[in-house]
Chains A and B, each alone.
Chain A
């Protein structure tokens, strides 16, 4: 900008100066709503929440400074530990299960088959179902006595789990449900697969590569950056699951949210919500929120560190 102002002739220089003022004025004017939002509803509350996490705050009375007391109490809170184990169990099961399934579906959808676009449309439909409706549907479909899933299992003499009613099966049931609505990840993987240049496959065919080795040495490395991105987003999302768990285990039973048998579905955010809006322990809930935030940041950072080992970026010139 400055270089052109210096090199230009006098009338041109004036033109640029006027333009720069205009750009600055309208630039800030146009982002004003977003900047206000950034301060008031995005970044501001993050710092307020950090501050509140060092207080005892029950909304009716003003916050009272308690130092690190909330954080020190966390590891002694058995339900907090329970909510961590529940959430981690879900993340560990759901993230790989959904990634692998969505990728596999994308591979099928990428095949050059007549009528494939019909199947793509069809398979995307479940993703349109709102989470609350989806959880209600699955809760009923997984009904241990009268559901359409246990009926054939029982009829064939196979073991029929009691799903959400059994502490052992409560989490797998929810993972099962999450496998129903993978449309978005599938579409993203599909776009990534379509982005792999055909020449690579053609060259490999000339060399007599098998389907499997083409997949292993071309498809996987060429889509690994998308797999990585999807993995990170999936981890972040799975840690914060709320609506599905709320409906799936409780369906509005009470105002603090049911968590299934023996708290088997006491997800982190569910317990956080309970502390904030059920028990009015807002300082404690903020400390919980920050613990979650730190855990997610740490995992994301670890993820980014690990990607050097397995994610291929074309600009690096390395990899497969």
Chain B
């Protein structure tokens, strides 16, 4: 379109694309193939490229030895509350910052946005102290309550989105006597569906992937998430000489849901990254 087609350049592009694709996919292949090998075949030289025999039992043994379903359930609990909390606090605040006029609004908004720059390490210890005084350490609460108390990046994104919705829609409802809560729930929220989808995806990923906070708060095995489960596989397991096959099988289990979500909602994924990434 913009450049005249140069056959040589085009060929180079294809070589780069195909070579790059192989590089990108290689770790996935290594992950899945290792998860299906016998321990003996994992540690062989030269490398065994195709698992022979294919050992599906790695997965059944993993589920027997490690409470994978419990970890999945825990991860899901954290993820679901994360989504609900983020959507709740970010959509309300986003609408308020975008459309309601009141004194102090812009000041609060800029302070809220500025806190994004604060490294987590700074607030980590006071938060831990606070949650331990509340008796929340060793429960999911330190991970699922904060999302209900605001999510600056998503608030910013939703504010930008609400600002693009025509004023007339709101004005018409107001003349009909609708109050702010009704306008928000019945007019603005349904219109903000694309932005809410983006918010949902981002909080799903956060809940699914987070490691440091679960590590700090979920000290008991029965509360562990999948990420903590992978971490724990580095520790000694009675009767299992090496856990590499389990590590790879559990990593496969953990990788699948985000990949499926991506294929289900690819457009919202891309939109979200571009929307929150271009704010500068």
Contact = CB atoms under 8 A, between A and B. Distances in A.
Mutual binders A and B:
yes
Contact of A22 (B180, B258, B277): B180
B231 A246 contact: yes
B164 interface: no
Contacts of A292: 119, 121-122
A133 B30 contact: no
B125 A282 contact: yes
Interface string B16-28: 1100110011111
Contacts of B165: none
| Of listed B10, B26, B96, B100, residue having the most chain A CB within 10 A | B100
A45 B258 contact: no
Contacts of B211: 131-132, 242-243, 246
Contacts of A28: 96, 102
A242 B212 contact: yes
A252 B123 contact: no
Given A42-B115, A129-B255, A188-B277, A27 B102 contact: yes
A243 B215 CA distance: 10
A24 interface: yes
B247 A140 contact: yes
A50 B34 CA distance: 47
B136 interface: no
Contact of A123 (B24, B105, B108, B181): B24
A183 B273 CA distance: 9
B240 interface: no
Contact of A276 (B3, B118, B125, B254): B125
A279 interface: no
Nearest to A179: B23
B3 to A, nearest CB: 7
Determine the interface band of chain A, counting residues with CB < 8 A from chain B: 35 or more
B126 A37 contact: no
Interface residues of B, number: 96
A93 interface: no
Contacts of B140: none
A44 B125 contact: no
B97 to A, nearest CB: 7
A203 to B, nearest CB: 11
B122 A46 contact: yes
Contact of B13 (A111, A128, A233, A282): A111
Contacts of A192: 278
B266 interface: yes
A59 B127 CA distance: 12
Contacts of A49: 122-123, 125-126
Contacts of A296: 117, 119
Interface in A176-224: 180, 183-185, 187-188, 191-192, 198, 201-202, 211
Contacts of A247: 230-231, 234
Interface stretch (B41-49, B53-61, B190-198): B41-49
B2 A41 contact: no
A44 B126 contact: yes
A30 B20 contact: no
Interface in B189-229: 208-209, 211-212, 215-216, 226-227
A232 B279 CA distance: 13
A146 B42 contact: yes
A34 interface: yes
Nearest to A36: B149
Nearest to A185: B277
Interface in B1-40: 1-3, 10, 13-14, 16-17, 20-21, 24-28, 30-31, 34
A39 to B, nearest CB: 9
A77 interface: no
A129 B119 contact: no
A121 interface: yes
A30 B215 CA distance: 32
Nearest to A44: B126
B158 to A, nearest CB: 11
Contacts of B187: none
A129 to B, nearest CB: 5
B244 interface: yes
Contacts of A141: 26-27, 30
B273 A187 contact: yes
Most buried by A among B108, B125, B132: B125
Given A36-B149, A132-B231, A137-B27, 11 more contacts: A31-B105, A37-B149, A41-B149, A42-B118, A52-B125, A119-B20, A133-B254, A137-B251, A151-B45, A151-B47, A297-B117
12 contacts: A28-B102, A33-B149, A38-B108, A42-B152, A113-B14, A119-B21, A125-B262, A132-B231, A145-B45, A187-B273, A253-B234, A292-B119
The 10 tightest CB contacts between A and B, nearest first, are A37-B149, A251-B234, A229-B280, A34-B150, A252-B234, A37-B150, A30-B96, A45-B126, A27-B100, A45-B123
